[in-house]
Amino acid sequence: MTLRPAQAKLNLALHVVGQRADGYHLLDSLVCFVEVADYLEISPAEELTLTVSGPFAQGVPTDQRNSVLKAAGLFPRIKGQGAAIHLVKNLPHGAGIGGGSADAAATLQGLADLWGCDLPPRDAILSLGADVPVCLETAPVYMRGIGDEITAAPTLPPLWAVLVNPNLPLATPSVFAALTTKTNPALSAWHDDFWTWIAAQRNDLQDPAIDLCPEIGTVLAELRRTKDMRLARMSGSGSTCFALYDSAVAAEKAAADLAANKPHWWVKTGAVLR
């Protein structure tokens, strides 16, 4: 049995810079990953099966609707070549941190290792969802186009993140539909003062998401009140928000305080992978 993490994705910045004729939005985003994850336990088997457990297992399908089995279906298979996959679902649904996409990416990597084969073609992987290609990464990257243009980003300073979700899922299409301006400025040119640079960027989906789910605004306000917070922003299309800190001690203290004061919120902390 092999254990594969499906790490939470954070859009440290997400600019919507256009929309194609087919409706797909064009993005310019700085993406990183955090030591908060779903986990996949993958074992050799003659058939392909999926079971699910964990705090967010309720309502997760175990049939072909699940991104794990959709990802597995991209591989050509021979008789007797299967896998018993167990998904430990720790990340909330509809949260803007790539849960289902991260699960699909971890499945692709785990099965390629198990079966000794290459990953499916990039276009096939993109068909699983716009965030799946980026979730094959671990180091910070730029994600552009519709999610299909992935390039390395400069090395980030040591960062720790606190992730907060109000336990209110938000549908990505609804947030994009609420965005009134589809053509916004791209990320500005990188410079070495990370904190100055990242503060000048934005998440174009944050305001429309707050309009749909005002609790996101409350989450951001609470994060900004935490000691030694350097930046607070929403990730993806929400509803998860994050704050960044210079040390594990500061992040862990902030997370503990938030969890105590808002016990109905999902609160986690972890280092940003570099």
Q: Respond yes or no: is residue 257 known to be catalytic.
A: no
Specify the pLDDT at position 205: 98
Measured distance CA(230)–CA(252) in Å, rounded: 14
HSE value, Cβ hemisphere, 13 Å, CA-based, for 210: 13
HSE value, Cβ hemisphere, 13 Å, CA-based, for 191: 8
Catalytic residue among 28, 38, 103, 131: 131
DSSP string, the chain: -EEEEEEEEEEEEEEEEEE-TTSPEEEEEEEEEEEEEEEEEEEEESSEEEEEESTT-TT---STTSHHHHHHTTS---TT-EEEEEEE--SPSS-SS-HHHHHHHHHHHHHHHHHT-PPPPHHHHHTT-TTHHHHT--S-EEEEETTTEEEEPPPPPP-EEEEEE-S----HHHHHHH-S----PPPPPP-S-HHHHHHT--BTTHHHHHHH-THHHHHHHHHHTSTT--EEEE-TTSS-EEEEESSHHHHHHHHHHHHHH-TTSEEEEEEBP-
Specify the pLDDT at position 80: 82
Tell me the average pLDDT across 94-113: 96
To the nearest whole number, what is the mean pLDDT of the chain?
97
Measured distance CA(59)–CA(6) in Å, rounded: 19
Q: What's the CA angle centered on 96, arms 121 and 105, to 5 degrees?
A: 25
Specify the pLDDT at position 78: 83
Catalytic residue among 9, 70, 89, 268: 9
Burial class (CB in 10 A: 0-12, 13-18, 19+), 123: exposed
Domains of the chain (ranges, CATH numbers): 2-141 (3.30.230.10), 155-271 (3.30.70.890)
Tell me the average pLDDT across 138-154: 96
Beta bridge partners of 16: 27
Tell me the average pLDDT across 169-185: 96
245-263 pLDDT per residue, tens:
999 999 999 999 999 999 9
Contacts of 29 by beta carbon, 8 Å cutoff, 6+ apart: 11, 13, 14, 15, 142, 143, 144, 187
Tell me the average pLDDT across 76-97: 93
- The pTM of the whole model exceeds 0.75: yes
1 or 270: which carries more pLDDT confidence?
270
